[in-house]
Amino acid sequence: MRISVDQTKCCSSGQCAALAPEVFDQRDDDGVVILLDAAPPEAAHDAVREAALTCPAAAILLEP
C-alpha cells in the first residue's frame, strides 16, 4: 500500500491521526495532516483504510 495526502484538501478534523497515529499526525499550528509513513506495514493497513474512508475532506489517497 502507498499513501499520499492532499494537504490543500485537509480540513484538520484529526480522524486520521486518531485512527492511525503511526501513519498520520497533524501540524501544531493549523492541524493539517502530516504523512509519517507513505508505505506502512501490513498491520496498519486496516486502520489506514478506515482513516481514508472517514476523512471528511477525502484528503487521503490510497494505492495498492
Question: Domain range for residue 38?
Answer: 2-63
Q: What is the Cβ-side half-sphere exposure of residue 43, based on CA atoms within 13 angstroms? A: 2
Joined grid coordinates for residue 22: 503511526
Query: Per-residue confidence at 64, pLDDT binned at 50, 70, 90?
Result: confident
| Total domain count, the chain | 1
This prediction has a pTM of 0.94
Instruction: Characterise 63 by phi-psi region: left (phi > 0), alpha (psi -120 to 50), beta (else).
Output: beta
27-42 residues labelled b (16+ CB within 10 A) or e (exposed)? eeeeeebbeeeeebee
Task: Read off the CATH number of the domain in which 16 is found.
Answer: 3.30.70.20
pLDDT in tens, 19-63: 999 999 999 999 999 999 999 999 999 999 999 999 999 999 999
Report residue 16 CA to chain centroid gap. 5
